[in-house]
Amino acid sequence: MKTKSIIMDETAIERSLKRIAHEIIEQNRGLENLYLVGIRSRGVPMAERIAEHLKSIENIEVPIGILDITLYRDDLSTIAHQPVIKGSKMDFDINKSNVILIDDVLYTGRTVRAAIDAVLDFGRPNKIQLCVLIDRGHRELPIKANYVGKNVPTSTEEIIKVCFEQTDGEESVKIVLRDED
């Protein structure tokens, strides 16, 4: 895959996550009864990073859950390679809570649809919100993020690659071109 351009570096990502943390506090009037739920795989380190910022701003530890949406996908019977399931981890009662779903890229919205269904199987939160680092457009479902790091207009030929230190050994957001084959 060929890199077309680098749209965010380490500093830019850090600033965005910090701003998002402030927005979360502002819009929810604090952090009471709030849980961050990262969607595997890059939503998980992103949730951890936001939690660190929330801690340094408000001095409150927000619990983090992990969501594996594979078993909720709507395209299982059409994809060529079966994904590995790694499981979800929600060590808290989400009934009547305020859940913020966290993912790196918002694209068609299908992952988020699956994630909402997956969350609802754990209980009935009062509210579910969505936080993404990149919104690249091309929605196929009526879904909108509450917190966005950066809006990036893209063509469907392009791929947005988000790298976090924890998962990829570097911090960057790149636009790469799909291999022609």
Partner 1 sequence: MKNKHNFIGRNLYDLDDYSADEIIAILEATSVMKEINERDYKKLPTLRGKTVCTLFMENSTRTRMSFELAVNRLSADLVSFQASISALSKGESLQDTICTLNAMGIDLYIIRHRFPGSPQLVHKYSEKPVMNAGDGRHAHPTQALLDIFSIWERLGTLKDLKITIVGDIAHSRVVRSNLIGMKKLGANVTVCGPKTLVPGFLPEIYGCKVEHDLETALKDADVIMGLRMQLERQNEGLLPSLDEYTKQYVLSKRTIQFAKKDALIMHPGPMNRGIEIMPEIADSQQSLVLAQVANGVAVRMALLFLFLGGK
Could you list the residues that contact partner 1 (CB under 8 A)? Answer: 41, 68, 71-72, 76-89, 117, 121-123
Q: Which is nearer to partner 1, 117 or 170 (CB)?
A: 117
* DSSP-derived secondary structure for 132-179: EEEE----SSS---SEEEEE----TTEEEEEE-HHHHSS-EEEEEEPP
Closest CA to 63 of 17, 86, 22, 97: 97
User: What is the smallest separation between the CB atom of 111 and partner 1, expressed in angstroms?
Assistant: 15
Residue 31 CA to residue 68 CA, distance in Å, equals: 24
Whether a cis peptide bond, with omega within 30° of 0, leads into 5 is no
Residue with tokens 């965005």: 16
Nearer to partner 1, 125 or 149 (CB): 125
Q: Shortest gap between Cβ of 58 and partner 1 (angstroms)?
A: 31
Residues 136 and 144: beta-carbon distance below 8 Å: no
Instruction: Give 98 or 167: the residue with its C-beta nearer to partner 1.
Output: 167
Calculate the alpha carbon distances from 79 to 70, 88, 111 in Å. 12, 21, 14
Closest approach, Cβ 172 to partner 1, in A, equals 20
Q: Identify which of residues 147 and 164 has a Cβ nearer to partner 1 in the complex.
A: 164
Rounded to a whole number of angstroms, the minimum distance from the CB of residue 137 to partner 1 is 26
Nearer to partner 1, 59 or 79 (CB): 79
User: What's the closest the beta carbon of residue 29 comes to partner 1, in angstroms?
Assistant: 30
